Amino acid sequence: MSKSVLEYLVEMVQIDSESLDERAMADYLIKELQQLGGEVREDKANEKTGGNAGNVIAWFDGKEGIEPLMLNAHMDTVTPGNGVVPDIRGGIMYSAGGTVLGADDKSGIAMILAVIAQRKKEGNLQVPLEVVFTISEEIGLLGAKELDCSLLRSKRGYSLDGNKMGELVKASPSQINYKVTFQGKSVHAGVEPEKGLNAIVIAADYLRKLPDGRIDEVTTMNIGKIKGGKATNIVCDEVMIEGEIRSHKENKLQSLLELVQKEAESVKEKWKTGVKFEWHTSFKGLQFEETEDLIEISHEAFSSLGINQGLVINGGGSDANALAEHGIRLAVVGTGMQKIHTIEEFIDLEDLETGYQWLDNILSIWEERCGS
């Protein structure tokens, strides 16, 4: 007997799967996907990410001549995500303890599994499906970045990893991460402080010169980490800060990167000391036109449920951003999960069911529109 979307979610939120520790979740998914008749593989992305499980990929045959559809969600959760006990009250699922619920993104996985299970039960899985469940999305899209794309057969689909039900992300930003290391000179702070050079003071001088928070409607900056110092009686000889810049405007992104690098050089010259600046692109932005097939198919699927699809500009990244680098186009759709990354996370079970119905509609519309 096929499981309902709720049954899948209740089972999965109780499986520990914090980032880099997804082994139990991967094993569960491999078993479930095989029972549903999928051709299942696990790649070796974890050998590069440092985790204990790889990405899980499953293929389900469909009718010849129909373009294969990719469905994506991630299996990891943020911390605290171990020992989750689901608590359903008033048609809403919460976590009973001091943990996140894990609806991010197990609600997306539940919808995918439930639709496949029901279609297989009815003998009505006509669309060739490729299911991609990734690891370590929450700590930098690591699983998607290291995904063995040679195993894939599809190029378009949906990532079930958004928030509000009925919303689809039409644009997400590019992100640059940077790290600056400031060198000082350590001496005894109570004996000869004048002979030292405090890296904390240098770092503070640098930070005063940087914009922070919301820069404009589609651009943000943030300093997320500061590390340095050994003891209060030692003048600090090294401080490391890490920050990020996000923007939907590539020229704005580059100008802010130039600014943070220029100010690092300025501080280096002012204090006559060592400053090391490093940066990398975490992910590239992703944009969709309202007339694109993926958007229109989703709109039709929601409309048949009496829901007017909302198109949103997002400030975050997802697996869709990372996979776009490999020529795979995924539209990110909301699953109804709310207050994610907090112990107050919840999901309305009506949204959970709506997401399941939406996905079932997607398969029907995809069969009509994407067949030869």
Residue 190's domain is classified under what CATH number?
3.30.70.360
Q: What is the Cα–Cα distance from 167 to 161, expressed in whole angstroms?
A: 11
CB 72 within 8 A of CB 157: yes
- What does pLDDT average to over the chain? 96
Instruction: Output the domain CATH number for residue 85.
Output: 3.40.630.10
Q: What is the Cα–Cα distance from 170 to 331, expressed in whole angstroms?
A: 8
Instruction: Copy the structure tokens of residue 200.
Output: 């904390």
Statement: residue 1 has pLDDT above 70: no
For residue 64, the model assigns a pLDDT of: 94
Under the banding of pLDDT at 50, 70 and 90, the label for residue 371 is confident
CB 132 within 8 A of CB 147: yes
Give pTM, 2 decimals. Answer: 0.92
Regarding whether 91 and 12 lie in a shared domain, the answer is: yes
Q: What is the Cα–Cα distance from 277 to 261, expressed in whole angstroms?
A: 7
Closest Cα partner for 309 from 165, 172, 104?
165
Active site residues: 76, 137
Regarding whether 313 and 360 lie in a shared domain, the answer is: yes
Closest Cα partner for 250 from 352, 332, 338, 173?
173
For residue 271, the model assigns a pLDDT of: 96
Statement: residue 140 has pLDDT above 90: yes
* Spatial CB neighbours of 255, under 8 Å, sequence gap ≥ 6: none
pLDDT average, residue stretch 216-223: 96
For residue 2, the model assigns a pLDDT of: 79
Statement: residue 262 has pLDDT above 70: yes
Regarding whether 279 and 327 lie in a shared domain, the answer is: no
Under the banding of pLDDT at 50, 70 and 90, the label for residue 322 is very high
Where in the sequence is the domain holding 336, given as residue range(s)? Answer: 5-172+285-369
Statement: residue 250 has pLDDT above 90: yes
Regarding whether 151 and 16 lie in a shared domain, the answer is: yes
Regarding whether 73 and 134 lie in a shared domain, the answer is: yes
Statement: residue 40 has pLDDT above 80: yes
Regarding whether 334 and 197 lie in a shared domain, the answer is: no
Q: What is the Cα–Cα distance from 27 to 29, expressed in whole angstroms?
A: 5
pLDDT digits (tens, 9 = 90+) for 168-184: 999 999 999 999 999 99
For residue 192, the model assigns a pLDDT of: 96
Total domains in the chain come to 2
pLDDT average, residue stretch 151-164: 96
Closest Cα partner for 38 from 145, 153, 143?
153
Closest Cα partner for 103 from 341, 299, 277, 297?
341
Under the banding of pLDDT at 50, 70 and 90, the label for residue 145 is very high
- Helix axis angle, 293-303 to 349-369, nearest 10°: 130
Q: What is the Cα–Cα distance from 296 to 162, expressed in whole angstroms?
A: 18
Token pair 């005894």 in the structure block, residue? 188
Q: What is the Cα–Cα distance from 297 to 303, expressed in whole angstroms?
A: 10
Regarding whether 270 and 303 lie in a shared domain, the answer is: no
Regarding whether 126 and 22 lie in a shared domain, the answer is: yes
* Spatial CB neighbours of 219, under 8 Å, sequence gap ≥ 6: 173, 245, 246, 247, 248, 249, 252, 253, 256
Regarding whether 148 and 295 lie in a shared domain, the answer is: yes
Q: Which of 249, 266, 283 is the last residue of a domain?
A: 283
Statement: residue 372 has pLDDT above 80: no
pLDDT digits (tens, 9 = 90+) for 92-136: 999 998 999 999 999 999 999 999 999 999 999 999 999 999 999
